[in-house]
A and B are shown apart, each in its own frame.
Chain A
Amino acid sequence: MKINTSKTTGLRKSLQRAEEIFFRSLMLLSSCLIVGVLLMIIISIMRKGIPSLSFEMLTRTPKGGFYFGKEGGILNAIVGSLYLALGATLLAFCIGLPVAIFMNTWLLRHRKTVNLLRFILDLLWGVPSIIYGAMGFTVMIMLGLRTSLLAGIIVVGLFVLPIMIRAIDEGFKTSPAGLTEAALSLGSSKSELGYRVLAMQCFPGIVTAILLSFGRAIGDAASVLFTTGFTDRIPTSLGQPTATLPLSIFFQLTSPIPEVKNRAYAAAVVLTIIILLTSLLARFFTSKFKKQSIKF
């Protein structure tokens, strides 16, 4: 009897160990897969892009014949993309932060409403950007407007708004209920609770939300296709059409001329570096402010 039980526990133990090994290697494999794909993308962009990357390309706007391999650069698209993404992120932030605070303070006792809102926002998050572009385009036609930076900022802003709200909201959800109660019990109003306590406590989450939105805004091609148009000039006002990096990549990549194609990769390198820089910057600021938030 005794031997029998020790045998079964021995078997169970080795089964457990096998399970452990199996799942650990599965995790390792999927991690390698993800990192591998990322590395492949980055390496292939860098390999093709860096040789065509030049100072001229970063500092000049396209000259005549640029799209046939002649001289010029993509400064118009770099500046345009930055204008557009910064504007859209700012717009989404100005609307998104109050909405997220509203959901986590005023609506605190209406949990069903909040969950419904979250569900709707998640749906909106999943809507393809071309839908936003088409919607913006329809409205612009109705109003008789032409493609412009402002139209792009509004459409892309709306497109990243659900991301912004939900990312900030997820940050707020990690803040403990006790902190909310502590702030309210002091007699602070709901706005004071939201903007001074929750926003401070979840500052890293807010930075992440901004970063996420900025990344989506600068990298999206479909929503700007109809709304911002494309031009070789750097816009000087919100009413002018604007070039963007994703569209610049798209137009150059579809060219049959190999030089132009390589320039598309160079533009992709620029886009990747911009996103990398924002990410590093965000991390720097996050760690700077993290020390104020209370760990629970």
Chain B
Amino acid sequence: MENLTKIRIEELNLSIGRAKILRDISVEIPKHKITVILGPSGCGKTTLLKSMNRLTDLYSDMNVTGKIMIDGDDILHTSRDVTEIRKRMGLLSQRPYPLPMNIQKNIAFGLEISGRRKRQFRDKRIEHYLKQASLWDEVKDRLKEPASSLSIGQQQRLCLARGLAVDPDILLADEPTSALDPISSQEIEQKFIELKKGYTIVLVTHILRQAIRLADYVIFMYLGEVIEQGQAEQFFNQPRTEITKAYLKGSIN
């Protein structure tokens, strides 16, 4: 049970034009854990994350080889519709992007996409997901107000609730706290720890302390390659490579 793999990436190479962004990535991401992808800026963390829900399809001149297996299904070479793949993953980006609708409809949009259109359950479900993102108490009296009226920390939690409303089993987070104030950041981190019981969480960060706080499993990347991966405890206490040691000490950034 401990080592159930949710996502297995094999020999993933990704280049845009002539620039190689990812080289020979092979990683395993365990189920119901927080996996942190750690590394300095520009090492390909975000690209790796986006290739997992195929947002990399939007890049022009992109060339990708290798395999990304999610529950044993290769999402790069599947005949299934890409929206089906994306529905299984929620994404939190560097800064929140609420949809241009009111708070309630932001969640309802997620519900509709996952095919749960029944009106009678709608309000209950909206409440459920807003509670799951600890936002309900703050917004229950202003559900009809535009999402843009929320503070940025609230917006990020709204995005989390919206992502959960699609009923995914994986959460992808791309430096989700980088635009937030310390208190909002803490709330998001707390949510991740609560949510990992039911979700496989992949978190990209360049904040070492955040990684130490949250990680169960660490993937360390440097210049488009995976340098080291392993259980968090072992990674932070007994790093195996020189680059990792240097990074943990703070000499590479």
Footprint of B on A, CB under 8 Å? 108-112, 176-189, 192, 196-197, 200-201, 203, 291-295
Contacts and interface: CB of A to CB of B under 8 A. Distances in A.
B70 to A, nearest CB: 14
B57 A186 contact: no
A286 to B, nearest CB: 14
A17 B84 CA distance: 61
A200 B101 contact: yes
Given A109-B59, A176-B97, A185-B163, 16 more contacts: A108-B58, A108-B60, A109-B62, A178-B93, A181-B58, A181-B91, A182-B91, A182-B93, A182-B97, A185-B53, A186-B163, A187-B83, A187-B88, A196-B99, A196-B109, A200-B100
B100 A187 contact: no
Given A181-B93, A184-B86, A186-B163, A294 B113 contact: no
A186 B162 contact: yes
Interface in B161-193: 162-163, 166, 172
B147 A185 contact: no
Contacts of A293: 100, 148
A151 to B, nearest CB: 39
Contacts, number: 92
A31 B50 CA distance: 47
Contact of A186 (B113, B147, B148): B113
A157 B153 CA distance: 46
A289 to B, nearest CB: 9
A186 B101 contact: no
B97 A178 contact: yes
The B contact surface, by secondary structure, is: mixed
Interface in B68-115: 83-84, 86-91, 93-95, 97-102, 109-110, 113-114
B100 A197 contact: yes
Contacts of A177: 58
A-B interface, 3 closest residue pairs, ranked by CB to CB distance from nearest: A187-B87, A185-B91, A182-B97
Categorize the interface residue count of chain B.
35 or more
Contact of B55 (A110, A112, A179, A184): A184
B95 A292 contact: no
B89 A109 contact: no
Nearest to B94: A178
B40 interface: no
B7 to A, nearest CB: 15
B148 A185 contact: no
B159 interface: yes
Given A187-B83, A187-B113, A189-B83, A180 B58 contact: yes
Contact of B109 (A109, A110, A186): A186
Contacts of A189: 83
Contact of A197 (B87, B90, B99, B149): B99
Tell which of A110, A112, A178, A186 has the most Cβ of chain B within 10 Å.
A186
A179 B146 contact: no
Tell which of B84, B88, B100, B109 has the most Cβ of chain A within 10 Å.
B100
Contact of B146 (A180, A183, A291): A291
A185 B60 contact: no
B100 A185 contact: no
Nearest to A293: B100
Contacts of A110: 60
A229 to B, nearest CB: 44
A124 B53 CA distance: 39
A182 B102 CA distance: 16
A287 to B, nearest CB: 13
A200 B98 CA distance: 12
A112 B61 CA distance: 10
29 contacts: A109-B58, A109-B60, A110-B60, A111-B60, A178-B93, A178-B97, A179-B99, A181-B50, A181-B55, A181-B93, A182-B99, A183-B99, A185-B55, A185-B172, A186-B91, A186-B110, A187-B86, A187-B166, A188-B113, A189-B83, A192-B113, A200-B101, A291-B149, A292-B102, A292-B146, A293-B148, A294-B99, A294-B148, A295-B148
